[in-house]
A and B are shown apart, each in its own frame.
Chain A
Amino acid sequence: MFFPREMSEIELIVPSKDLLAVTKVLSGYGVFHQTDSNYPGVASGSANTWQETAAQYAALERRVQTVMQALGIEEGQPPSSDFEAMVETESIRPMVDQIEEEVRTTSDELSNQRKHLEQLESILHQLEPVGDIDIDISSLRESRYMFSMLGLMPSANLDRLQTSLARVPHVFLTLRSDPARPVVWLAGTKANADVLQRAARSAYLDPLHLPGDYQGTPGKIIESLRNTIESTQRKIAELQETLKRLGDERKEQLRDLLWQAHTSRVLSDAIVRFGQLRHTYVVTGWVPTDDLEELTRRLKAASREILIEVLPTSRFGPNQNVPVSLQPSRLLQPFQMLVNTYARPRYGELDPTLLIAITFPILFGAMFGDIGQGLVLALLGWLMSTGRFLKSMSSLGGLIIACGLSAAFFGVLYGSIFGFEEDVHLFGIELRPLWMSPIHHILDILIVAVGAGVVLLILGFLIGIFNYARSRNMGHLLFGHNGIAGLTLYVSLLGLGASAFGLLPVATIVFVVPAVLAAIALMFAEVFIHLVEGHRPLYEGGFFTYLIQAGVELFEVVISLLSNTLSYVRVGAFAVAHGGLSAAIFILAELFSGLLGPIGYWLVVILGNLFIIGFEGLIVGIQTMRLSYYEFFGKFFTGGGMRFEPLVLTPVKNEE
């Protein structure tokens, strides 16, 4: 629960004769993350053969998809029949060729007719604005003294074309305003034809080209065009009908072909990455240890001679190459999403999901403590998670429920319900703060908030130390900012502060010594870490430059410790602000009750509560996220783990 799923590295030696059966098991079970074993020394020429086979299947798959697209057939679900085997390309190619040929003739004709229709409509579009002119269109083109160009151009280029011709006498008219393809007319003297043509071309002005059989006045051409457009549209409708009939006839067959090609392609893609010895194949990859037994059983059933070597992976030490599969938990899924938005844990690194599932709602609830508003928020979260409200954000539902319930719990502690804090009776019981009302104990709540922050930061340090220890990163464990030296400095500074203010009956010197030692360790952390790790040189650049840099770094560490701690003041401050905002709403409500009576009062109270739930809820949520990401995660969470991507034959929904 605290760590990603335990993974085992496996190496399989597969006899050539069982290659397909084994690949089918590996791809079909969906727990095997393949790594490339086709490395030099192992690979032979067969990798290229399989690469070609995979390319052939991929081509077939794409061809089937193209045909299906032309016929308007959706891929649908994988068929129930046993399609998980690799089929010979030659066994499905003739069928693909045949259907493709049947479809291609009609669809090519359809495509040509559509293009023809588009051209006709484009010409009509350009001619309509000059439809009333009673002159032969060819006389414009053949004018002796005037250059003239009618055509379409991208609307975005209109202004630029005019700017480019600022120094050339010309007439430029937009005959038809169209947001995408306006019809324009550019004219000037024949002497400037070159310049005008160059400008028009560089502005992508597409001049009207009338086919030879369209002659005469624009009016006559338009009439003829409309007739041709009508007959082309009829032809297109007939071709579409033919394709629909073909689609109905071939739908099931095409889907089967698609899945056969798809699974064969997935299997051959996997084999491409196998290494081949003389009579065997080497397969390497990762499996969640929980699934290893079942996978082994299936592999043995598929191949009696298969050799399976399992290399258990230590959770200790650097494990950047191990894929990370997080523990699946429906309850923790919203928090897992929160963690993954920041980063994916590395293998062996503590998965902070459970921690964040506890701390996030607590921090939110402490800032937003109110029974009524908390329960409304929880209800909204429930409606979201069940898809009844804001369906697109259903993944956030669980998180909002937890935050709402926590807010309601803190509402009980603060004695607040929908902003009412005094003289409230709930089911005959007078509502009193079980703990304290933040607005009446401002200093107390701020001190408690900083105290909670100190506890969380120390927890963050401890987890960071734990992670360093597990990854055997001794340099950072001892001397890192978030390691033992960092924690010692932090605790010593806290002790010094407490002792100086008389809160701790301990002599200041007790904290001074560890603080100085920790400060020295941090200041020269780079040197110490390089010493431990055996890196040389111990520091970069000159000694005095390094000394100055180390001093500045220590200063930065101390400042960031201070700011991290004080950052938690916001938890108390928001609890106080929450009370203050509620009080402001009641003052407004009193004002409105004077104008509109009790209706005005309750209207303001209801609207005010909705405002607090929406607006303050959002801000508090962001603040909680900030505290979690910036102050808490920053102390121990590195992330950057590799995603576990098992081989699968059919597309499945992502893990998260």
Chain B
Amino acid sequence: MAKSGVSGYAAISARVRAMYSSLLSPQDFARLSDAPDFPTLITQLKQTAYSPYLENLKDKDMTPQKVDLAIKGRLADSYYSVIHMAPEHARSLLKQLYRYFEVQNLKAVLRAIITDPSWERVQDVLFPMSSMTVLPAQAMLEAGSVAAAVELLQGTPYYETLSFAMKRYSAEQSLFPLEVALDLYYWRQLWQEAKKLQGQDRGQASRIIGSLMDVNNLMWVIRYRIYHQLSEEEVINYTLPFGYHVRDEDVRAIAAGADLASVVGRVFPGIPDLNALLDDPRAGLPKLEIELKRRLMQQCLAAFTGNPFHIGVPLAFLILSDLEIQDLTVLIEAKSSQMEDEEFMPYMLRQVV
């Protein structure tokens, strides 16, 4: 019998709340943002929960890329703990959520095969998934070609998807169809896992996972239309018909050429200066994405109020941890490039005072 409610979530709820309390506070972020340069930022970071992940980095390895990779180790550990403590019925969804990083790693390996197949470089950009991955990344890279690398994925969940997309890769010699197929496969599986849950778990998972999908789906549809200038039917085929706020009608309307600001404004009311943002989509889209992620963050924080015995709490914690790393990445990049506060602050999800 699947354990849900109090009996299933008591232990994980206690553990996640303990882990949640170790997320960086607004004061921590303010301190980090005030760091005058990159070395000071690292010194400050070493005084936070990220310390154990930075201790092993030697001074010569304190590059923005290595630091970024090192702090992701904490996110990997959080996923590992949460997945192992989660009740059986909730584990598939959490594992699927974690596969996001595996999909990103897979894309990175495929790109590297074409651009620079050096394992030393590639491993510096791969999310540290340790044993929780099915990708034979190094062997794929050494396989020499995308086709041979995909063959090495036989027996993994990605093979079937990629074997269809490989026909197009062979014809077009572009990774675009492979990457789109992987994205669609990942998000469909995630949604299916959320829908397999029952009762309150299902509602919470649909809300949080749906909100996460909204951000991606909306960004895809706008980018496909504006950057890639794809036709209506292509845009529809490359996007998802489900989400929390974003409905299929909205996606289809944008694909068919509807006014972006009016559709986005209807789905997400209250976004400041939406028209101005979408007047120049190339500059405005990243800011729109930040705004949507801020709303996602609020959704996740809301999961920590009220009854804590459901999947929403661990899901929200994992997403918040990921968003925290995204903010830290902005800070790392900003401090290493000696950017002024006003240059990087708009790209932070947390409003740093």
Contacts and interface: CB of A to CB of B under 8 A. Distances in A.
Contacts of B31: 540
Contacts of B14: 625-626, 629-630
B35 interface: no
Contacts of B184: 156-157
A626 B11 contact: yes
Contact of A202 (B58, B167, B234, B248): B234
A341 B6 CA distance: 20
B52 A164 contact: no
Contacts of A160: 236-237, 241
Interface stretch (A83-91, A357-365, A476-484, A616-624): A616-624
Nearest to B237: A202
Contacts of A285: none
Contacts of B161: 154
- Candidate in B7, B17, B51, B236 with the most chain A CB atoms within 10 angstroms: B236
A442 interface: no
A169 B158 CA distance: 34
B181 A164 contact: no
Contacts of A619: 6-7, 10
Interface in B49-92: 49, 51-52, 55, 58-60, 81, 84-85
A626 B10 CA distance: 7
Contacts of A109: none
A469 to B, nearest CB: 21
Given A36-B58, A203-B237, A540-B30, A163 B252 contact: yes
B231 A195 contact: yes
B237 A164 contact: yes
B320 to A, nearest CB: 20
A630 B241 CA distance: 42
B139 interface: yes
A195 B233 contact: yes
Contacts of B55: 320-321, 642
A112 B7 CA distance: 54
B73 to A, nearest CB: 12
A147 to B, nearest CB: 14
A652 B185 CA distance: 37
B291 interface: no
Q: Which interface class (under 10, 10 to 19, 20 to 34, 35 or more) fits B? A: 35 or more
A199 interface: yes
B60 A40 contact: yes
Nearest to B232: A164
- Candidate in B14, B31, B142, B233 with the most chain A CB atoms within 10 angstroms: B233
Given A157-B237, A165-B233, A320 B51 contact: yes
A280 to B, nearest CB: 21
- Candidate in B161, B167, B177, B188 with the most chain A CB atoms within 10 angstroms: B167
B233 A342 contact: no
A625 B10 CA distance: 9
Contacts of B307: none
Interface string B286-302: 00000000000000000
A62 interface: yes
B233 A164 contact: yes
A180 B159 CA distance: 12
Given A164-B232, A164-B233, A180-B160, A204 B15 contact: no
Interface in B223-261: 230-234, 236-238, 241, 248, 252
Contacts of A634: 18
Given A199-B234, A342-B15, A625-B11, A163 B58 contact: no
Contact of A618 (B7, B232, B238): B7
B11 A156 contact: no
A625 B13 CA distance: 11
Contact of A163 (B30, B84, B241): B241
A67 to B, nearest CB: 14
B233 A198 contact: yes
Nearest to A209: B167
Interface of A: 36, 39-40, 62, 152-154, 156-157, 159-161, 163-165, 167-168, 180, 195, 198-199, 201-204, 206, 320-321, 341-342, 540, 615, 618-619, 622-623, 625-626, 629-630, 634, 640, 642
12 contacts: A39-B58, A154-B164, A156-B185, A160-B236, A199-B237, A204-B167, A320-B52, A341-B81, A342-B15, A618-B7, A629-B15, A640-B51
